[in-house]
Amino acid sequence: MTLLEVKHISHWFGGLQALKDVSFQTQNEILGLIGPNGAGKTTLFNIISGFITPTKGEVIYGGQRIRIHHLRPYQTVRLGMARTFQIVKPFATLTVEENVLTGLGMPFYPTSKALVQRYKTASNMEKVEEILTTTHLIEYRNSPAAKLPIGLQRRLEIARALATGPKLLLLDEPAAGLVSQEATELSDLILNLFHQGIQIIVIEHNMRFAMNLCQRIVVLNQGEMIAQGTPSEVQNNEKVINAYLGQE
């Protein structure tokens, strides 16, 4: 069963076309989404997770053939889709623990549960500890999120996304701003999550990171999909090489 199917997505921002007829599917893999700057990768993520309604085309999720663009962003979470952001958005006034807690079953709107139930229960805290341990953030649990360095903030965003119990994880440039050791740790973490059964799509600008990590790659350039395949196929693809060379 295909988890996610992107069908003929085209999108215009005013007069500017950001995406041109992009189609691909993904299942049971770590998929990489790469391309030079301005290729439209983040726009595609925004469309998949419901933040933007595409001008044309549709996104179909899970066997239920749900049309994503009829949903609001907070509803796609309910379907088991979680995302991180290109520019980290931690909840700055909350601690690391509390950031993760927000993912653990926050009612989507003020239900009676939201009004009355406390969030810091023992069972929730256990889950938080589990997630913080997996993402190696446990020693920072009480730090205000704003005070963490960028590498840890990126991990925190992943931890927060994990808390929602996703089946599909959309990571937007998770390795940006990381030094090579942190990037390796991140790679291990992503592989770990994949082996736990979570499917992952990664936008990455860092070619080496993406090639090492992903099983399949989709390449975008100026809104169009110019190649898809295994890392070695893509690396040797002429169009891809030209696209990146053209950037320099």
Partner 1 sequence: MSSGYIVTILTFVAIYISLALSLNILTGYAGQISLGHAAFLGIGAYTSAVLAVHYGLPFWVDFLAAVVVTGMIGTILGLPSLRVRHDFLVLATMGVNFVVVSVFKYVDFFGGAMGLVNIPAPTILGLTFRGGAPYLTLTAIYALLTLAVCWYLSKTWSGLAFHAIRNDEDAAASVGVGSARYKIYAFGISAALAGGAGSLYAHFLGSVFPDNFVFVESIGMLSMVIFGGIGTLRGPIIGAIFLRLMPEMFRFIQDYRFTLYGALLVLMMLFQPMGLLGKDSWLWKFSTRVWPGYRTSKREEMP
Q: Read off φ and ψ for residue 205, nearest 5 degrees.
A: -100, -20
* Cβ distance to partner 1 smaller for residue 117 or 236: 117
* Cβ distance to partner 1 smaller for residue 120 or 239: 120
* Cβ distance to partner 1 smaller for residue 35 or 90: 90
**Rounded CA separation 171/174 (Å):** 6
| Residue 63, both tokens | 């066997």
| Residue 235, both tokens | 């690396």
* Cβ distance to partner 1 smaller for residue 51 or 244: 51
* Cβ distance to partner 1 smaller for residue 56 or 120: 120
Sheet containing strand 199-204, edge to edge, reads 66-67, 56-61, 4-13, 16-26, 224-229, 216-221, 30-34, 199-204, 168-172, 81-83
- Three state DSSP letters for 188-206: HHHHHHHHCCCEEEEEECC
Amino acid, single-letter form, for residue 127: K
* Cβ 243 vs Cβ 36: under 8 Å: yes
Residue 199 C-beta: closest distance to partner 1, Å: 17
Residue 105 C-beta: closest distance to partner 1, Å: 8
Residue 163 C-beta: closest distance to partner 1, Å: 7
Question: Which residues bind to partner 1, rule: CB under 8 A?
Answer: 49, 51, 72-75, 77-78, 82-85, 89-95, 98, 101-103, 106-110, 113-120, 140-144, 147-149, 160-161, 163-164
Q: Name the CA dihedral angle for 85, 101, 92, 210, rounded to a multiple of 10 degrees.
A: -30
Residue 10 C-beta: closest distance to partner 1, Å: 23
Residue 6 C-beta: closest distance to partner 1, Å: 19
